[in-house]
Amino acid sequence: MSISGKSTYNGRDLTLVWYESNQIPTGKKISQVSAFCVDNNGDVLIVRHEKQGWCLPGGHPEDGETVEETLRREVQEEADATIKSDINLMGYLGVFDPDNNSIEGRDYFQLRFLCKLDELNDFKADFETSDRQFIKPEELPKYITWMKTSNTGWGFCL
């Protein structure tokens, strides 16, 4: 199943296509991975970025990393939390961004995962994230803007 829509980010017009899939896509750069990380109560972990506000933990793959390695590293760096197993791909967002001149390029994927947290460490605010919080899934649109505005249902978090 796929859902498409239009959006604007930093003044650029984007075309977004959400693909529900448990297969990692090929053929385009993967610019981002992020996750709906849940605890034993089913609450979802969110982190506050200084520039972007509340977001799902995640980030850009580094050279030589698998998407799962990227996700584990980013969750550790941003939320001081550990995921070891139960990482499930929910789907991915295809982004066509014709005016993008940054490292992602003009045509890329952003992957969305669902995972269970294995360990939660003491949180230390840093240069990237200033807070973390657990919220009920139905509260996500109150915190994460793209969940309210994207007709793809999943949007994007750059």
- pLDDT at 45 exceeding the cut of 50: yes
Cα distance between residue 155 and residue 151, in whole Å: 7
For 124-134, the pLDDT digits (tens) are 888 888 999 99
**pLDDT of amino acid 148:** 63
Cα distance between residue 99 and residue 127, in whole Å: 28
- pLDDT at 3 exceeding the cut of 50: yes
**pLDDT of amino acid 48:** 95
Residue 136: which CATH number? 3.90.79.10
Q: How many domains are contained in the chain?
A: 1
Look at residue 156 and tell me if it is in a domain.
no
Q: What is the DSSP letter of 141?
A: H
Look at residue 142 and tell me if it is in a domain.
yes
Q: Which helix H or strand E contains 70, and what residues bound it?
A: helix 67-79
pTM for the model stands at: 0.86
**pLDDT of amino acid 105:** 74
Mean pLDDT of the chain: 87
Look at residue 35 and tell me if it is in a domain.
yes
Range of the domain at 47: 2-149
For 55-101, the pLDDT digits (tens) are 999 999 999 999 999 999 999 999 999 998 889 999 999 988 888 77
